[in-house]
Amino acid sequence: MNDELKNKPIGIFDSGLGGLTVARAIRARLPHEALVYFGDTARVPYGAKSQETIVRFTWEAIHFLRQHEVKCIVVACNTASALALPAIAGQVAVPLLGVIEPGARAAAQATRGKKVGVIGTTATITSDVYTRAIRALDPGITVYAQPCPLFVPLVEEGWDDRAATRLVVEEYLQPLRTARVDTLVLGCTHYPLLAAPIQAYMGADVQLVDSATTCAEELAGLLAQQNLLASAGAPDETFFVSDAAARFTELGARFLGRRIQAIKVAGAP
């Protein structure tokens, strides 16, 4: 019975393709696991939506993944992790893992001067969830939070290395540079793709923290602890989107670091 459960896939959910950065980290850390990814491309972005809507969409995605018999669910979307997970935790029959706690832990460990910047979507930053998670780990840390709503469309357009992007980076991050943060949490699935212009503007001594690697590490720990690590089998992968599979395939390769195979369009979740 447990062997059967162990070899079920890990479910990964994001509002769109950004969660592929988390899928990539999970694949690197857990090469033998089967993965089922769901990107809600019909309704992305979540970052400017209300909590009520984000909770509803997240429930629908969880039901969709549960139909695929996943053994656990990773909410790779920072916005859904920040706004929906607190409302949903404890109500799902499989383990649920978000990206906020892993990111907060990585930032609290990385900071030397106890000045941490956090950037994310408007919904994530307004929720204050990152600030509370970091300060719960170390109340001595001062957190400077900044919404960067234009970063997601810039990344989706493939504008990682344009003059316009550098200007937007400067406009958003100027208060954090002035505050001399020594650590900066990339609190959105898309932002690792802007790491180069962000690092260039903030300076080489600022530590960028991205929750994907820490989340994959915590997932490995959780599966080991619950005796749920896959015992055998080929590492199957299926990617579902709710719309526009061709665009997901084209752009997603940059997030995943390789071509996407086996993509399917799901009906409304």
> Which of the residues are catalytic?
77, 188
Which residues pair with residue 11 across a beta bridge? 36, 73
Binding residue (CB under 6 A) for ligand DGL from 78, 131, 211, 213: 78
Nearer to ligand DGL, 45 or 252 (CB): 45
Please say whether the beta carbons of 63 and 38 come within 8 A.
Answer: no
Please choose, out of 63-71, 72-80, 109-117, 253-261, the segment that lies near ligand DGL by the rule CB under 6 A.
Answer: 72-80
* Least spacing, CB of residue 23 vs ligand DGL, in Å: 12
Which span sits near ligand DGL by CB under 6 A: 24-32, 58-66, 182-190, 251-259?
Answer: 182-190
Q: Six-digit token pair at 162? A: 């344009």
Residue 77 as a binder of ligand DGL (CB under 6 A): the answer is yes
Question: Looking at the DSSP assignment, which residues form a beta bridge with residue 237?
Answer: 35
Contact with ligand DGL (CB under 6 A) among 10, 34, 100, 152: 152
Tell me: does residue 210 bind ligand DGL (CB under 6 A): no
Please select the residue that binds ligand DGL; options are 10, 188, 206, 216, rule is CB under 6 A: 188
β-strand partners of 10: 35, 72
Q: How far apart are CA 15 and CA 27, in angstroms?
A: 19
3-state secondary structure 48-104: CCCHHHHHHHHHHHHHHHHHCCCCEEEECCHHHHHHCHHHHCCCCCCCEECCHHHHH
Q: Both ends of the chain: CA-CA distance in Å? A: 28
Residue with tokens 């395939």: 249
36 forms bridges with which residues in the sheet? 11, 238
CB of 202 to ligand DGL, least distance (A): 20
**In this chain, which of 24, 27, 105, 190 binds ligand DGL, going by CB under 6 A?**
190
**Contact with ligand DGL (CB under 6 A): which of 9, 12, 15, 105?**
15
Among 9, 39, 47, 102, binds ligand DGL (CB under 6 A): 47
Nearer to ligand DGL, 188 or 228 (CB): 188
For 113, counting Cβ atoms within 10 Å of its Cβ (0-12 exposed, 13-18 middle, 19+ buried), the class is: exposed
Which CB sits closer to ligand DGL, 7 or 121?
Answer: 121
As measured in angstroms, the least distance from the Cβ of 155 to ligand DGL is 9
Query: Does 101 interact with ligand DGL (rule: CB under 6 A)?
Result: no
**CB–CB of 237/261 below 8 Å?**
yes
Q: Does 21 bind ligand DGL (CB under 6 A)?
A: no
Cα separation, 149 vs 209, whole angstroms:
19
Which residues of the shown chain bind ligand DGL in the complex (CB under 6 A)? Answer: 14-16, 18, 44-47, 77-79, 120-121, 124, 152, 188-190
